[in-house]
Amino acid sequence: MKVSLRPLAEGDLGRLAAWRNDPRVHPFFFFDGRIDPERQGAWLDSVRRDETRRFFAVEADGDFAGTLSLDRIDRRHRSAELGNVLVDPDRQGAGIGRRAVELLLALAFESAGLDRVELRVFTDNAAAIRLYEACGFRREGVERGAVVRDDRRRDVLRMAILKGDR
């Protein structure tokens, strides 16, 4: 299977909203509201205007199969945050997420001039943490009760990878 990244496009927004609202995806994001498909166009415009963000569609054999993003791109410290890691719930467990994160790291370190990529993940999201560790991210600490989801305070694991770790 060939996995590739391209910029997110308007035509992706309907499926992206459906995935984000899917019970196999929705619990793992910090934002606990539902995605309103009507507002997606304005959201994509604002992402495109934001020089600190790059939002990607993941393709598997040419089909839209997931997303990920580089957020909080900081030129001074040559760092960014990996976010919006999501694989089509019908295609999870097939290696798409792993390949997509590897591609994003190659882009960050080899063409975007970054030296550090960090991320935040719920401490109980075992699948995602295993994926990030498989890609070389290391655990840097736990932010206790940092995020309120569904009226409950949740612990968040911070992870990061430096260019020199690879």
Ligand X SMILES: CC(C)(COP(=O)(O)OP(=O)(O)OC[C@H]1O[C@@H](n2cnc3c(N)ncnc32)[C@H](O)[C@@H]1OP(=O)(O)O)[C@@H](O)C(=O)NCCC(=O)NCCS
Point out the residue whose Cβ comes nearest to ligand X: 97
Closest CA to 59 of 128, 11, 18, 26: 11
Nearer to ligand X, 19 or 109 (CB): 19
Nearer to ligand X, 41 or 127 (CB): 127
Residue for token pair 């990529």: 117
- Provide the mask over 23-42, with x wherever binding to ligand X is found by CB under 6 A and - wherever it is not: --x--x--------------
Decide: 87 and 28 in contact? Cβ < 8 Å.
no
- Quickly count: other Cβ atoms within 10 Å of residue 8's Cβ: 22
In the region spanning residues 81 to 140, those forming contacts with ligand X, defined by CB under 6 A, are 85-87, 92-98, 121, 125-128, 130-131, 134
- How far is it, in rounded angstroms, from Cα 102 to Cα 95? 11
The reply on whether position 44 binds ligand X by CB under 6 A is: no
- Eight-class DSSP state of 35: P
Residues of this chain that interact with ligand X (CB under 6 A) are 25, 28, 85-87, 92-98, 121, 125-128, 130-131, 134
